């Protein structure tokens, strides 16, 4: 009795699941009308970011970028383009399980052809397999964990995550535009040793995937250059408020500067304020700290603050000025713009571009998800606000750009940018 019931459930469920996962191909008139019309139906680009609780300080400015890109585009080749935001936090913290559920939910809506996100690398590790099974195009503005896309990291094979293991279908559906960790830490290490002339530094990280990754690569490069890392600590920043013992330790060992492998959401620059009276020296952060929050957190000690951004400076790009001005007209508060806002904007634009080409490839009809992924992989020389993007076979940008910033007065000032290609 029971078994028959279960079989019926199974049958009904599987049929629908199968129907959903192949996506809503077909439908719509074959002739392509002007790009301004919205007669052919609706295409949705989703985002999956942590937008509530403590993580919201990262997630909301990033989501603003996606929302702005999609709403300002409006339509594509006769399809209406809309944005749908998902939140991967539960109880105020990013949750891989919630992320995986969100992707599963996106798969069940045939109108969703791609997503921007996720923000956190551990959410990505749970989402990629789900999205991969349904061929959902994913573009992340901020994931920098090397092993999400590459087989090796720092000369060692990536055992976990390993790109092959988390892509069960064998076809890559996950792309990102941030330069992986392997570039960002070393870029700052080189700058610290060569330009700032530091020889002894203290390094701490927030013990998260991103923070620990950049701190490790910074440390390795700095030592390779001939410098000395006098203290290395990893903190649980949720419960740590007091960095003074660490800074005192660093001072007693002669540190001339401090590198923080952390983001503003994990107190990247709060230790900088506490440095006052203990160490007078440079304070360096990766891109999660290059924002107004960091300057605020540094209090009166923001003068000697340096940061890297794993992307080009959108404000440097003359072509991007109109976009930035339009964004600022819509999102008026300073907190609305974060270091990933325009990275996320570009991710959405990359998806829109790929969907456009997929529509063409499908004769002006609603493309399938596989077609979008295929078009996305062929993205090449797309000029956007933070750089010109081409994806390599792993889904990484071929010529990631790295910029270095320095605080002057009350704001971040750009110092230089350089390509770090050749992954």
Partner 1 sequence: MIAALRRLWETDPRRDPNTLTYTLLVAAAIVVPIVAAASGSSYLIGQIADAGVFVLLAIGLNVVVGFAGLLDLGYAAFFAIGAYVYAELASPYLEAMGIHGGIHLPFWLLLFVGMFVAAGFGALLGAPTLRLRGDYLAIVTLGFGEIVPRVVRNLGPLTNGVNGISAVDPPEMPVWLSGPWSGDPLKIVTDLKVGDPVGYYLIMAVLVAVCVVLVNNLQRSRIGRAWMAVREDEVAAAAMGVNTVRIKLLAFAIGASLSGFGGAFYASKLSYVSPDTFSFLVSVTILVMVVLGGMGNIPGVIVGSLVIYYILYNFLPDLPGYVTAIANSLGATGILQQSGDWPGLGEEVSRLKFLVFGLILVATMLLRPQGLMPSRVREQELQKGTHEDTTIEDVTAATTGVG
Partner 2 sequence: MERPIAAPRATPIRLRGLVSSRVVNTIVLVLVAVVGVLVIARIWHRGPGYFAQILVYGVANGSIYALIAIGYTMVYGIIELINFAHGDVFTLGGFVALALLPMFGVKEGQPTSAVILPLLITLVVSMLFCGGVNVLIERIAYRPLRHAPRLAPLITAVGMSFTLEGIMFLWRGPFFLHFPDLLPRARIVLGPDTTIGAKELTVIGVAVVLTIVLSLFVERSKLGKAMRATAQDRDAAQLMGIDINTTIALTFFIGAALAGAGGVVFGLYFNSLSFDLGFSAGLFAFTAAVLGGIGNIYGAAIGGLLIGMVQSFSDGYFDSTWTQVVIFAVLILVLVFRPTGILGMRVPEK
Would you tell me which residues interact with partner 1 (CB under 8 A)? 5-20, 51-53, 56, 60, 86-87, 90-98, 100-101, 104-105, 107-108, 121-122, 125-126, 129, 133, 145, 147, 159-162, 165-166, 168, 207-209, 212, 236, 330-333
Residue 2 vs 410, nearer CB to partner 2: 410
121 binds, among partner 2, partner 1, none (CB under 5 to 8 A by kind): partner 1
Residue 249 vs 392, nearer CB to partner 2: 249
Which class for 68: exposed (0-12), middle (13-18), buried (19 or more C-beta within 10 A)?
buried
Q: Maximum Cα–Cα distance for the chain, whole Å? A: 78
Residue 22 vs 38, nearer CB to partner 1: 22
Non-local (6+) Cβ contacts of 287 within 8 A are 178, 184, 307, 308, 309, 310, 311, 339, 340
244 binds, among partner 1, partner 2, none (CB under 5 to 8 A by kind): partner 2
- Minimum distance from CB of 409 to partner 2 (Å)? 16
Report the interface residues with partner 2, using CB under 8 A: 52-57, 60, 92, 204, 207, 233-236, 238-246, 248-249, 252, 264, 267, 270, 273-274, 276-277, 293, 296-297, 299-300, 335
DSSP secondary structure, 103-115, as one string:
HHHHHT-TTEEEE
Residue 27 vs 37, nearer CB to partner 1: 27
Token pair, residue 137, equals: 């195009």
29 binds, among partner 1, partner 2, none (CB under 5 to 8 A by kind): none
- Which residue, among 141, 148, 151, has the nearest Cα to 124 in the 3D structure? 148
CA 282-121-85 angle, to 5 degrees, is 110
- Which residue, among 419, 417, 404, 400, has the nearest Cα to 149 in the 3D structure? 400
233 binds, among partner 1, partner 2, none (CB under 5 to 8 A by kind): partner 2
User: If residue 49 lies in a helix (H) or strand (E), which one and from where to where?
Assistant: strand 41-49
300 binds, among partner 2, partner 1, none (CB under 5 to 8 A by kind): partner 2
98 binds, among partner 1, partner 2, none (CB under 5 to 8 A by kind): partner 1
- Give the chain's length: 423
Residue 236 vs 319, nearer CB to partner 2: 236
Residue 304 vs 353, nearer CB to partner 2: 304
Residue 234 vs 392, nearer CB to partner 2: 234
Helix, coil or strand: residue 25? coil
- Minimum distance from CB of 68 to partner 1 (Å)? 11
Token pair, residue 356, equals: 């456009």
Which class for 252: exposed (0-12), middle (13-18), buried (19 or more C-beta within 10 A)?
exposed
Contact predicate 310/179, CB 8 Å: yes
- Minimum distance from CB of 64 to partner 2 (Å)? 14
280 binds, among partner 1, partner 2, none (CB under 5 to 8 A by kind): none
Which class for 43: exposed (0-12), middle (13-18), buried (19 or more C-beta within 10 A)?
buried
Place of tokens 């919205």: 38
- Minimum distance from CB of 60 to partner 2 (Å)? 7
- Which residue, among 49, 53, 76, has the nearest Cα to 62 in the 3D structure? 49
5 binds, among partner 2, partner 1, none (CB under 5 to 8 A by kind): partner 1
Residue 77 vs 98, nearer CB to partner 1: 98
Q: How far apart are CA 384 and CA 401, in angstroms?
A: 13
Residue 71 vs 236, nearer CB to partner 2: 236
54 binds, among partner 2, partner 1, none (CB under 5 to 8 A by kind): partner 2
- Minimum distance from CB of 60 to partner 1 (Å)? 8
The phi, psi pair for 340, rounded to 5°, reads -110, 5
Helix, coil or strand: residue 2? helix
- How is residue 214 annotated by DSSP? H
């Amino acid at each position: 009795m029971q078994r028959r019931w279960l079989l019926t459930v199974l049958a009904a469920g599987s049929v629908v699941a199968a129907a959903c996962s192949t996506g809503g191909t077909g439908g719509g008139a074959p002739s392509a009308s002007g790009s301004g019309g919205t007669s052919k139906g609706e295409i949705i680009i989703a985002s999956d970011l942590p937008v509530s609780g403590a993580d919201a300080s990262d997630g909301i400015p990033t989501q603003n970028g996606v929302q702005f890109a999609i709403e300002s585009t409006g339509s594509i080749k006769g399809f209406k383009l809309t944005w749908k935001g998902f939140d991967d936090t539960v109880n105020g913290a990013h949750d891989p399980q919630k992320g995986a559920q969100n992707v599963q939910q996106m798969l069940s809506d045939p109108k969703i052809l791609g997503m921007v996100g996720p923000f956190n690398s551990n959410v990505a590790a749970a989402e990629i397999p789900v999205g991969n099974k349904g061929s959902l195009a994913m573009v992340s503005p901020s994931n920098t964990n090397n092993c999400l896309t590459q087989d090796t990291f720092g000369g060692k094979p990536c055992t976990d995550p390993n790109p092959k293991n988390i892509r069960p279908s064998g076809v890559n559906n996950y792309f990102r535009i941030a330069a992986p960790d392997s570039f960002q830490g070393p870029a700052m290490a080189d700058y610290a040793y060569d330009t700032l002339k530091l020889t002894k530094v203290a390094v701490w990280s927030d013990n998260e995937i991103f923070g620990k990754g950049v701190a490790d690569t910074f440390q390795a490069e700095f030592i390779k250059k001939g410098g000395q890392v006098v203290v290395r600590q990893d903190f649980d920043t949720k419960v740590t408020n007091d960095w003074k013992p660490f800074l005192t330790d660093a001072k007693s060992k002669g540190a001339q500067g401090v590198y923080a492998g952390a983001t503003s959401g994990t107190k990247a620059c709060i230790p900088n304020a506490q440095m006052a009276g203990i160490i007078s020296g440079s304070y360096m952060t990766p891109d999660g700290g290059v924002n107004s929050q960091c300057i605020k957190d540094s209090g009166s000690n923001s003068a000697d603050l340096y940061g890297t951004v794993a992307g080009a400076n959108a404000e440097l790009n003359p072509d991007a000025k109109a976009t930035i001005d339009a964004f600022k007209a819509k999102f008026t508060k300073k907190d609305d713009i974060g270091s990933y806002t325009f990275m996320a904007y570009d991710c959405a634009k990359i998806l829109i571009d790929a969907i456009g080409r997929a529509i063409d490839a499908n004769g002006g009809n609603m493309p399938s998800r596989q077609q979008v992924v295929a078009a996305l992989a062929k993205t090449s020389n797309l000029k956007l606000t933070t750089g010109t993007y081409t994806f390599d076979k792993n889904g990484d940008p071929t010529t990631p750009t790295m910029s270095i910033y320095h605080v002057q007065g009350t704001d971040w000032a750009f110092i230089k940018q350089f390509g770090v290609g050749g992954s």
